[in-house]
Amino acid sequence: MSFVLFIVSAAFAAISFRLFRSAWQARGAEGWLGLAFLCVALSMPLRWLIQRAHLAPADLEPSFVLGGHALMALGLCAFTLFVHRVFRPETAWATAVVTFVIAIQIVSLPALVLFGGHRDEQNVSVLVVGLCRALPFAWGFLESLRYHRLMKRRQALDLADAVVTNRFALFAVWTGALVGLTGLLFVVRTWALVSTASGRLIGSDGSLSTPAWLLALGLLGFGLSAAIALWLSFFPPQPWLDRLRASAVAPAAGRGSCAGAR
């Protein structure tokens, strides 16, 4: 599982640096997204390796784990600001949603300390906080799905670019994958608590339980799907762009020939 986690984290970190570069050149909102994925990329291995590989003194492990949770919260706050700026920059209720979501991320940190989640990754408080952390991605998924439908209608009238339309679809793919990963993590941890004697995903001998194998496969599938869709969203290769434009030209040509025949 450590290998899978490293691959996914490395992919998100690489994408974040590309996003920082794009944001610096275009002065766009990509910087918020770059910060979000950099924080997530650093948070996951920090929490996992500190607790499993004991890379820090025992008395300092909870502090490092809490730091991982803090990075995750900061990343989700940045992602929430990205969604707001891209999809709802001037909507009053969206500002209230941003305030609510960011407040939840901030409150989650003292809640973890209060209930012991920073000392035990299998603590029930970690499950609750994990569900709350799905909110920013769920909002991004719904907004991108709505925009993709709007752009498809405009594209049918030759009022929208095929590449831009596809970008909203990819946005829905990777945000939906992250929502799915969060849900899977909740199910797996609940399963571990209920079905195993120790409530642990990994035994003292290093063996993986059935929930841990499910989590590893889900992390690989959802995580890599999200990384690939994100990369294609902001840094698509030329063959990908050519294929999208060609698929849009063919229906348009068909409509033009029908109009000429009439």
Q: Is residue 249 part of a domain?
A: no
The C-alpha atoms of residue 98 and residue 95 are separated, in whole angstroms, by 5
pLDDT in tens, 21-35: 777 765 678 889 889
* Residue 228 lies in domain: 2-237
Angle between helix 162-195 and 124-132 (nearest 10): 170
Residue 83: pLDDT over 70: yes
Residue 58: pLDDT over 90: no
Q: What is the pLDDT of residue 26?
A: 59
pLDDT in tens, 109-162: 999 989 888 777 777 888 889 889 999 999 999 999 999 999 998 888 888 888
Q: Is residue 244 part of a domain?
A: no
The C-alpha atoms of residue 182 and residue 190 are separated, in whole angstroms, by 12
Count of CA atoms in the C-beta half-sphere (13 A) of 148: 16
- For 24, residues 6+ apart whose C-beta sits below 8 A from its C-beta are 31
- For 214, residues 6+ apart whose C-beta sits below 8 A from its C-beta are 184, 188, 191
Can you give the CATH number for the domain in which 27 is found?
A: 1.20.1070
Q: Is residue 194 part of a domain?
A: yes
pLDDT in tens, 186-203: 887 777 777 655 555 555
Please give the angle made by the CA atoms of 5, 110 and 187, to the nearest 5 degrees.
40
Q: Is residue 224 part of a domain?
A: yes
Q: How confident is the model at residue 208 (pLDDT cuts 50, 70, 90)?
A: very low
Q: Is residue 261 part of a domain?
A: no
Q: Is residue 245 part of a domain?
A: no
Query: Which has the minimum average pLDDT: 17-21, 96-100, 197-201?
Result: 197-201
Q: What mean pLDDT, rounded, does the chain reach?
A: 80
Residue 5: pLDDT over 60: yes
CA distances, 162 to each of 140, 244, 250 (Å)? 20, 6, 12
Residue 230: pLDDT over 50: yes
How many separate domains does the chain show?
1
The C-alpha atoms of residue 51 and residue 49 are separated, in whole angstroms, by 5
Closest of 88, 113, 229 to residue 166, by C-alpha: 229
Q: Is residue 178 part of a domain?
A: yes
Residue 142 φ then ψ, to 5°: -65, -40
The C-alpha atoms of residue 10 and residue 32 are separated, in whole angstroms, by 18
Q: How confident is the model at residue 70 (pLDDT cuts 50, 70, 90)?
A: very high
The C-alpha atoms of residue 138 and residue 118 are separated, in whole angstroms, by 25
Q: Which two tokens stand for residue 119?
A: 């000392």
Q: Is residue 192 part of a domain?
A: yes
Query: Which has the minimum average pLDDT: 65-74, 201-210, 248-257?
Result: 201-210
Q: What is the pLDDT of residue 205?
A: 46
Whether the CB-CB separation of 210 and 189 falls below 8 Å is answered with no
Chain centroid, CA 138 distance in Å: 9
Residues 70-77 have a mean pLDDT of 94
- For 131, residues 6+ apart whose C-beta sits below 8 A from its C-beta are 182, 186
